[in-house]
Amino acid sequence: MAMIRSSFVQIRGPWPDAAFGGDDVDEDDVESLSERASAQQRAKDKSRRNFSELLEVILDPALKGGAAALALSLAHFLTDRIRPETHEVQSWVRRILRQISDLSSPESDMTVATALLYHGTLQEGSSPIMSRRFLLKRGVDLNELNLDPDCIPAFIEVLNPQVDLVAELHRAQIAVTIGEQIHYYLEAATGRGPDDGFDSLKRSPHWPRLLRALHNPNDFAKISVVEETAGLCPRRHILLPSAKRSALKSEGVAVCDCCGRVILNKDC
């Protein structure tokens, strides 16, 4: 398995262009080059189809992402060799990153670099916070992270040639996720931390209630805290309206319509 993995991390560059024949080709050569170019394109299309089918197998939810990191190596190898369209490579990367749950595999360097590239510059709503959240959820200490910015040259070439991964890592290191801010708020409310470090909550329309709860144990007892976004009222287990579920997922705070309590989502 180690030999298989290593074969897919070697940078080999795109396949030679069969249509390139120089300036002194005659008519017969032009026809021959055209045929070879068509055959090469068919081979590339077949490679893309085969990889898409393989990806369906590798990313089967029943496998729980066990081979997702290896799929990332395969995707980079194929990107390096045939240079697919940007949208196709981005789709591969998005699907694979979602399945990677930890960074214990030999492809961890590639996963970190790809996460910074995708979450920091490509995903809708991209930001250093997205990168930081991805890495923190997978147990990465960003301050101890050793980044290899040169391990995904094909992804960078196809997806974002201007990216500076070292700068993206720095931005992720100094960012603060909503989940971290909620942690700081809960620490402050229980007397274990300073009243600081949760500026996003202070800008929330729910801040007046959160502020009262910060200094009043009775008000604090009326706040519900969830470990992850379930979309349900934590007290009555009733499905929250879609707008509240969205706010809880993106902003980390919402008010439940059925019980009137403020809900804080630590997984944000």
Question: Could you read off the pLDDT of 144-163 as tens digits, one per residue?
Answer: 998 999 999 999 999 999 99
Query: Does 255 have pLDDT greater than 50?
Result: yes
- Between 5 and 216, the more confident residue is 216
CA dihedral 163, 164, 166, 168 (to 10 degrees): -50
Tell me what the pLDDT averaged over the chain comes to. 87
The pTM of the full predicted model, rounded to 2 decimals, is 0.81
DSSP letter at 198 equals -
Helices and strands, counts by H and E, the chain: 13, 3
What confidence tier does 258 reach under pLDDT thresholds 50, 70, 90? confident
What pLDDT sits at residue 15?
A: 53
pLDDT at position 17 is 56
Percent pLDDT > 90 in the chain is: 67
**pLDDT in the model for residue 139:** 92
Among residues 70, 90, 68, the alpha carbon closest in space to that of 79 is found at: 90
Confidence category of residue 34, pLDDT binned at 50, 70, 90 = low
Whose CA is closest to 219, among 251, 247, 189?
189
User: So what's the pLDDT on residue 9?
Assistant: 47
In this model, does residue 175 exceed pLDDT 70?
yes
Residue 19 has pLDDT above 60, yes or no: no
**pLDDT value at position 7?**
41
Task: Return the pLDDT at 8.
Answer: 44
